[in-house]
Amino acid sequence: MIFDRNRPFNDLPLLPPPVELETRPVLKKVISATRALAELKGVANLIPDQAILINEIILQEARLSSEIENIVTTSDDLYRAASDKLFQGEPATKEVLRYREALWHGFDSLM
C-alpha cells in the first residue's frame, strides 16, 4: 500500500472492540494498581511541599520533549531561569520554559 497523505486510513477497526476487556486477569491487575496508587498517595503526604516535585517532573518533561525538536538546554540553565524572572538565558531555555507553562496551562484546564 502506498502512503497518500491526502487519503485517510479507514481500515481501522471500529470501537469498542468486540472482545470483553474486563477479564479476570485485567481486573486483578486493576486491584494491584489501585493498591500501588494508594501507597504512593500515602508516601506523597510525607513530602512537605509536593509542588516542588511536580514542578520538577514537568520541567524535565518539557526539557526532554523539546530535545526531540532539537531544542537543547541544560538543567542548570533551566533552574536558573525558572528561579530568576530577570534571567536572560538562551532562546532554547526560554522555549523550554514556555513549554513548561503550556503543560501547566493544560493541567489547570483539566481541573
Instruction: State the pLDDT confidence band at 1, using cuts at 50, 70 and 90.
Output: low
Number of domains composing the chain:
1
Output the average pLDDT for the chain.
87
> What pTM was computed for the model?
0.57
| pLDDT confidence of residue 67 | 92
Name the more confident of 1 and 66: 66
**103 touches 63 (CB < 8 A):** no
Domain span holding position 58: 48-110
In this prediction, residues 49-66 reach a mean pLDDT of 88
Cα 45-65-41 angle, rounded to 5 deg? 15
**Do the domain assignments include residue 76?**
yes
**105 touches 93 (CB < 8 A):** no
**Do the domain assignments include residue 97?**
yes
